[in-house]
Amino acid sequence: MLAESFNPFNNLGMTALVAAIPIFLFLLSLTLFKMKGIYAALLNLGVTLLIALFIFKLPIGESLGSIVQGAVLGVWPIGYIIVMAVWLYKIAVKSGKFDVLRGSIAGISPDQRLQLLLIGFCFNAFLEGAAGFGVPIAICAVLLVSLGFKPLEAAMLCLIANGASGAFGAIGIPVGIIDAFELENVTSMKVSTLTVFTLPIINFTIPFLLIWLMDGIKGIKEILPAILVTSSTYTVTQALITVTIGPELADIIPSLLTMGVLALFLKKWQPKNIFLFEGNERKVETYSIGEVVKAWSPFYLLTLFIMIWSLPIFKGLFAEEAIFHFSLLSGVIPGSSISVSIDIIGATGTAILLAALTTILTTKTIDGKEGFQLLGKTLKEFSIPILMICAILGIAKLMTYAGMTTALGEAVAMTGQIFPLLSPILGWIGVFMTGSVVNNNTLFAPIQATAGNILGGNSSLLVAANTAGGVMAKLVSPQSIAIATAAVGQTGNESALMKMTLKYSFGLLAFVCVWTLVLTWIL
């Protein structure tokens, strides 16, 4: 915080209401006013700037520095990761690998409900664990559209499915980052362990919810064995990993294992009634093992490079003192003490870049010129969504440095013994504003831990609740909505997609809130 005080009214309730204006305005802009995401983001950026300047008294230099820092982070690393991931996908499409990949999944079963479980749930969770930052939403939504799903419905289903994996995205960073704060009685392993009391319930439920949204109770009854295989395998495996190993592989191993187990199960069992969208043909394509292995190679490479990039010994090569890690903004904006670090080679986007370049070099059906033409096309397509993300992060940084997020956190913590009921709401707010569970835990994990110590509760449980509540906001965060609509060619329809997912986000959040309160009585 760089403002003089986080409580300019000397009344925490009044201050918190004013600090919450950007959040409420964002919701109203995208739902009631039906504004395009980019316009809603820019409007809210302007409003947040005025509140920070004239109410919270954040100096003009620090205010401008906050916005620029958010914009830089929107481009690097988030925009970098998104563009690289979508470019890799486009390379797979152009080279013909994607057709084989899609066909290999469709070949497991022509039933599109089962395709949703394989792609929308399992592959979604794998990509979340490998890359995060909107990559699974973008790629899986496009995959579903190519199989005959309606664009906005595909985006909605992928956003909801992401609720089962968002807590451990990008090699478990949302939980792993907690160790960097050196909080009293709170470690990433403790938080990882305590998520086992909440997330498995949600994880087990989501496949049922997905099929219900797609084909109602009838659909659940017809493919119940497959849903049970999916839910059980993923839930049990992730729970075991979070308790015994930690957060790093809590998405990757369960998703791959679930996809494999489900594929083997479907070789022996298929539903009596095959569900197809109107106009889709029932056809099963067959490919040799070699063709399937080659088709999946871009994503094998993606996994390989990202896992290398996540190794501590590799990260050490590109620490802050390394030559490939430098700071921007410092001294550039008059009156601002804010800077932002740029990690060139150690960035996750660079790992995906190498996967894309390796795919081009090892694929005969695409050359370098075609590959870089696809990169240019990707940059053009995602320019507006990335601009929106930059504006959102600018808002988040303004709120942080002005003390607005601190005011919100302190106000909620003042509720005393009822705080555990409200604790996940902080996480929801953090992810709604930033689109990232990592950023959410960066903002609010210290507040949750402090509140837990003051109240004499389990601080690690509250941080776990902050994480779980944050995941429920990924369904509706403007950043996620922007990525999803852009991926399926529906930029401008952000308000429609938010309406489709909002009630499920609130419903899951309500469960996390009540269940967290119950857990504080039990544990």
Q: Tell me whether residue 6 is in a domain.
A: no
Name the residue type at position 159: L
d(CA 76, CA 339): 14
d(CA 33, CA 45): 17
d(CA 512, CA 120): 23
Per the structure block, which two tokens stand in for 15?
């201050």
Residue 9 CB partners (closer than 8 Å, separation 6+)? 15, 18
Q: Which residues constitute the domain of residue 36? A: 12-522
Q: What is the pLDDT of residue 325?
A: 45
Nearest to 258 by CA among 164, 136, 189: 164
CB atoms under 10 Å from CB of 278, counted, come to 5
DSSP states along 71-92: HHHIIIIIIHHHHHHHHHHHHH
**Element holding 345 (H helix, E strand):** none
**Element holding 326 (H helix, E strand):** strand 325-328
Q: Tell me whether residue 4 is in a domain.
A: no
CB atoms under 10 Å from CB of 102, counted, come to 20
Give per-residue pLDDT as tens, 34-56.
788 788 889 999 999 999 999 99
Q: What is the dihedral of CA 196, 198, 200, 205, to 10 degrees?
A: 180
Q: Tell me whether residue 343 is in a domain.
A: yes
Name the residue type at position 300: Y
DSSP states along 200-230: HHHHHHHHHHHHHHHHHHHHHHHTHHHHHHH
Q: Is the pTM of this model over 0.85?
A: no
- Strand, coil or helix: what is 306? helix
Q: Tell me whether residue 7 is in a domain.
A: no
Name the residue type at position 314: F
- Strand, coil or helix: what is 340? strand
Give per-residue pLDDT as tens, 398-410.
888 898 877 877 7
Q: What is the pLDDT of residue 222?
A: 95
Q: What is the pLDDT of residue 103?
A: 77
Omega before 77 within 30 of 0, i.e. cis: yes
Q: What is the dihedral of CA 264, 228, 480, 307, to 10 degrees?
A: -50
Please, where are the H alpha helices in 334-477?
348-361, 368-381, 383-402, 404-413, 419-434, 437-455, 459-473
d(CA 130, CA 310): 10
Query: Residues of the chain whose pLDDT is less than 50?
Result: 321-326
Q: What is the pLDDT of residue 217?
A: 95
The number of distinct structural domains making up the chain is 1
CA distances to 73, 346, 347 from 321, in Å:
19, 12, 15
Backbone angles phi, psi at 296, to 5 degrees: -85, -5
Q: What is the pLDDT of residue 323?
A: 43
Strand partners, 327: 341
CB-facing half-sphere around the CA of 154: CA atoms within 13 A: 29
Q: What is the pLDDT of residue 512?
A: 95
**Burial (Cβ within 10 Å: 0-12, 13-18, ≥19) of residue 418:** exposed
